[in-house]
Amino acid sequence: MPTIKDVSKLAGVSVATVSRYLNKNGYVSKEAAETIAEVIEKLNYRPNNIARSLAGMKTATIGLMVPDILNPFFPELARSIEDAANEYGYTVMLCNTDNDSAKEQKYIDTLIQKQVDGIIISSYTIKPEHLTGLQKQSIPVVLMDNVFSSDSIVSLTVENRQGGELAVQHLLERGCSKIAHICGPLSITSSRDRTAGFEHACRGTDWFTPSLIGYSDFTVKGGYTAMMDLLALHPNLDGVFASNDLMAAGALKALQETDHKVPQDVKVIGFDGIGLEMLNPELSTIAQPIYKLGKTAMDSLIGLIRKESDIMTDQVFPVTLHAKQSTMN
């Protein structure tokens, strides 16, 4: 098997230059980079990541922890992170935690044993001590869709509260006069913020009552059940804002089964902006910039791995209204 020394000798550069090229860390001239790339291809050289990790070098792998891989939001997020990681020469290890804190801790232990260079965590059950524990072991962490009151943790979120307000404003502008809300789990920060936005936008109306808020679990089935319960309490409601697109899809199913026409009788809007083109009518949604979130998460993690000093620790991204058939008639 060819070694890094073989590449160095044939390319006419130092081993350190080849190492900087492989790790994408440090300056390598364009001419040297092109020569090294040609030699690597000619020799079919493959870096020995195990040997590199034993030598205290980087393994060029990162961990990605998500709570529910069946939710289309997370495969879209994983794709953007993987694309960005590939540009940096990194491989992604995907861990699906099923919102299980014990499983989450097991994955963290496994990723530490695998000597990953860093971890991106999208979790509703992660605790601050888990993150600080990783940092104490010099493992960089980027947290997504969650915020802890710590200046040392890089976190990426979106304008959840503003998104909830935007959804209600859109329904009001479309002529709705009694709007219900399907809230996600109250243990989740983003869910609470979206509901807070809904309540703020409804404040002062003569129709709002707390019973217009139903509770679910971010699933299609949960959205369906919550919608049925809301219809039983408020058969004259004419608008629904669900805290994610899957619950909105469940709400659409419930409305169709109870002979409510969407959007003529009831208008529905979700949150996330995931690809659900198969729904009929197509779902209006408050869209998160999913691809940008994933790329920024990977960029930030690389910055932490390289010990850069100018990384923002609390990044908040705007959301966008995507009005489609479920609210437009």
pLDDT, one tens digit per residue, over 276-291 is 888 999 999 999 999 9
Map residue 78 onto helix, strand or coil: helix
Helices (H), 28-157: 30-43, 49-54, 73-88, 101-113, 128-136
Give the structural domain span for 270. Answer: 160-287
Tokens found for residue 56: 């205290």
Asked if residue 296 and residue 275 are part of one domain, the reply reads no
The contacts of residue 157 (CB under 8 Å, 6+ apart) are 144, 145, 146, 147, 189, 190, 315, 316, 317
Look at residue 135 and tell me if it is in a domain.
yes
Asked if residue 10 and residue 95 are part of one domain, the reply reads no
Look at residue 54 and tell me if it is in a domain.
no
- 66-75, 124-133, 176-185, 284-293 — which is least confidently predicted? 124-133
Asked if residue 143 and residue 112 are part of one domain, the reply reads yes
**48 vs 120, higher pLDDT:** 120
Report pLDDT for 150: 61
Q: Binning pLDDT at 50, 70 and 90, where does residue 292 land?
A: very high
34: domain CATH number? 1.10.260.40
- Is residue 150 within 8 A of residue 138, CB to CB? The reply is no
pLDDT at 53 exceeding the cut of 50: no
Asked if residue 210 and residue 146 are part of one domain, the reply reads no
pLDDT digits (tens, 9 = 90+) for 34-43: 999 999 989 8
Look at residue 124 and tell me if it is in a domain.
yes
Q: How many CB atoms lie within 10 A of CB 34?
A: 12
Instruction: Give the start-end residues of each E strand in the chain.
Output: 61-66, 91-96, 118-122, 141-144, 154-158, 179-183, 213-215, 239-242, 267-272, 284-287, 314-317, 320-322
Asked if residue 129 and residue 181 are part of one domain, the reply reads no
Map residue 226 onto helix, strand or coil: helix
Asked if residue 186 and residue 149 are part of one domain, the reply reads no
Q: Find the largest Cα–Cα distance for the chain.
A: 79
Asked if residue 19 and residue 80 are part of one domain, the reply reads no
Asked if residue 147 and residue 166 are part of one domain, the reply reads no
Look at residue 237 and tell me if it is in a domain.
yes
Look at residue 328 and tell me if it is in a domain.
no
CA distance linking residue 108 with residue 81, whole number of Å:
18
Which CA distances in Å does 78 have to 112, 142, 173, 174? 20, 14, 35, 35
pLDDT at 256 exceeding the cut of 70: yes
Q: Amino acid identity, residue 150?
A: S
**2 vs 266, higher pLDDT:** 266
Q: Binning pLDDT at 50, 70 and 90, where does residue 51 land?
A: low
The contacts of residue 30 (CB under 8 Å, 6+ apart) are none
Look at residue 203 and tell me if it is in a domain.
yes
Asked if residue 181 and residue 199 are part of one domain, the reply reads yes
Asked if residue 236 and residue 183 are part of one domain, the reply reads yes
Asked if residue 169 and residue 153 are part of one domain, the reply reads no
Instruction: Domain count for the chain, please give it.
Output: 3
Q: How many CB atoms lie within 10 A of CB 287?
A: 18
Look at residue 326 and tell me if it is in a domain.
no
Report pLDDT for 151: 61
Look at residue 126 and tell me if it is in a domain.
yes
Asked if residue 296 and residue 277 are part of one domain, the reply reads no
Among candidate residues 92, 160, 161, 153, the one with its CA nearest the CA of residue 126: 153
Among candidate residues 246, 181, 226, 227, the one with its CA nearest the CA of residue 208: 181
269: domain CATH number? 3.40.50.2300
pLDDT at 233 exceeding the cut of 90: yes
